[in-house]
Structure 1
């Protein structure tokens, strides 16, 4: 599903490098997208084609002006990849037939020479590819130049790697850097707490892979704290990050529906999935007492009539199945299709920004507690809660 759908899986990046000034940036982005646009392969036999297309309609891939990819402070475009593939069983059957025909034409031979087999295989594969329509796949990109955050609509490691390579190739001098938990923590804290975060940083340098690997406690402790808050507190928070919603506006956030835990066992890594509405999280709590950590959890956030739901991936803070309120626009027969698409885009961005603002507010609330003097007391309360069964008021084993 694309980024304009009400439910979409997304990851976030920061754009790094020497970014041109705003007007020059419009020209730069448009020119580079045009130079690296998608080229169709429907009429040929090429195996794959990768390039940029329009977000509104990935069948369109001409970037002749900034209007094709720019709306106010947003750049929006789509990574399109068309790929042909031939099933191995089909290739094998046609290759065997080609080899039989070759031997029939050369009665003096009992088997096809090795080099000829390779030539036949390539010829058969090319023939089958030319008879196969490419399968398109599209992944949306929205770059908010005001915040510097880029949103990408896939969580597949291979697709993310393809996107990172394509972005770096397209925009010379720029690159995208994963907006991982430590980077996100730095973005939501003031200078005082940033200093405390640096003290708690377990990575030895600035390498982003090390920052992710060595600071997995951020995601694990955050979701453990959220679970405790869900079961023992009001789950009420206030907006403390800048954005669309007003400061100190109240909202609710809680875990429910699904929790995934991971830990080591005698036979290697053990994964436990607890699904369905939870009353007491006793199964989860028992697993936590056995040294497992929460790696994924379904988070709900509610403000007014708006309800957001996402599955948070704790290691990288990817948002899987991020469901936001539906875009509601009044139909007007006097508004043309282009203006309607633009209105849908801005309404959708508004809703996504609200969801991110709510998430960052909860995360900042946790960080100030986790990095402050009250965490020891909070950790003790969490441990006591983990140890007691809600049904029988006895220690969990």
Structure 2
């Protein structure tokens, strides 16, 4: 699903580097245009990757800023077209080509290795030329005020493809993933940042180290939220800037589905607990046996509005992120372009509001986790887990 759908799976990055000091949007348009998508429909090429309009995946010209600029946002999509030959079909045609070669060369009992490679290339090329490329579209939105880029895919392959093409297009810029430690640095009040630095388990500033050596952030956050869901208030206050008013009340809780991971005799074990969680009894048992909550569905409610997301604890990716539906009031004067832009702004508003609530929830956790009262809170959690 695209980023403008009411449900999307997203990850976020921070843009680092120094773009030209002149007109940013003119420069962005020039760079996007240089790596615009090129169709391979009428060729035999196997793969094509490039940028297209977020509103129209057939269009790849970014000469006019209106094609990608939405106020302070830059909106575009990654398009990836690839031809694929089914393995069974390729195998059948390859066997036929080898038989024909051996018939034409009766003195040979098998196809020589070099000739087999030639036949393989020829068969593959012939089949590719008869196969239509399958398109895949992945939306991206760059908020130039905050420097955050939101990308609508969690596929490791596509995330890497997006990062590489972004770097190729905007040579002076790079993307840095917003993982749990990076998000903690963003939401944490200054007085607690020394405590976060002290708790940092990584020995370098490399993103992979910060992720791998600080898994405790995701584990402790989801454990803390599960405990509070069952034993304490689920009410929190907005503490960060964004669409929602600061100090506004909202509700946050876990329910429906959790995934736990932990070591075992056969390696890493994965436990999925699905359905309404009345007392998390099965989850509590798994936690007592050394498992950690690695993924969970989080609900966020503010007044009559509801957000629902599956949080991937290791990376803080948001899968199946469902926001309140966007409804645009239309009249006879509303044209298609105006309607699309109105949908975009409303969609970004509700998406960012949900992330603002999540970040406020995360900040509340960090305030406890890095504060003086964590040892007492941890004792309460352990007693609750042990209580049958």
TM-score by length of 2: 0.98
Q: Once the two structures are superposed, what CA deviation does each residue of 1:330-379 show, in whole Å capped at 9, x if it has no partner? A: 22232111111000000000000100100000000110111111111111
Aligned partner of 1:315 in structure 2 is 314
2: CA distance, partners of 1:293 / 1:250: 29
Shift of 1:103: 3.0
2: CA distance, partners of 1:161 / 1:116: 36
2: CA distance, partners of 1:105 / 1:294: 63
Q: Say whether residues 1:360 and 2:359 are aligned partners.
A: yes
Q: Once the two structures are superposed, what CA deviation does each residue of 1:303-333 show, in whole Å capped at 9, x if it has no partner? A: 0111000000110100010000111112223
Aligned partner of 2:343 in structure 1 is 344
Shift of 1:173: 1.2
Give 5+ residue unaligned stretches, structure 1: 390-397
Aligned partner of 1:54 in structure 2 is 53
1: CA distance, partners of 2:20 / 2:219: 38
Q: Once the two structures are superposed, what CA deviation does each residue of 1:89-125 show, in whole Å capped at 9, x if it has no partner? A: 1111112222222333334444333222211211111
Q: Once the two structures are superposed, what CA deviation does each residue of 1:251-304 show, in whole Å capped at 9, x if it has no partner? A: 100000001111111111111110000100011011111111100010000001
2: CA distance, partners of 1:379 / 1:106: 77
Which 4+ residue blocks in structure 1 deviate beyond 4 angstroms?
none
1: CA distance, partners of 2:374 / 2:189: 18
Across the aligned residues of Structure 1 and Structure 2, the Cα RMSD in angstroms comes to 1.1
2: CA distance, partners of 1:312 / 1:101: 55
1: CA distance, partners of 2:370 / 2:96: 69
2: CA distance, partners of 1:232 / 1:103: 76
1: CA distance, partners of 2:59 / 2:97: 40
User: What is the count of residue pairs matched by the alignment?
Assistant: 388
Q: Say whether residues 1:335 and 2:334 are aligned partners.
A: yes
Shift of 1:42: 0.4
* Correspondence list, 1:197-216, <5 A: 197-216=196-215
1: CA distance, partners of 2:5 / 2:347: 8
2: CA distance, partners of 1:14 / 1:291: 34
Partner SS for 2:81: strand
Aligned partner of 1:269 in structure 2 is 268
* Correspondence list, 1:175-324, <5 A: 175-324=174-323
TM-score by length of 1: 0.96
Aligned partner of 1:31 in structure 2 is 30
Partner SS for 1:40: coil
Give 5+ residue unaligned stretches, structure 2: none
Shift of 1:155: 0.6
Aligned partner of 1:382 in structure 2 is 381
2: CA distance, partners of 1:361 / 1:290: 31
1: CA distance, partners of 2:185 / 2:255: 27
1: CA distance, partners of 2:105 / 2:384: 81
* Correspondence list, 1:143-158, <5 A: 143-158=142-157
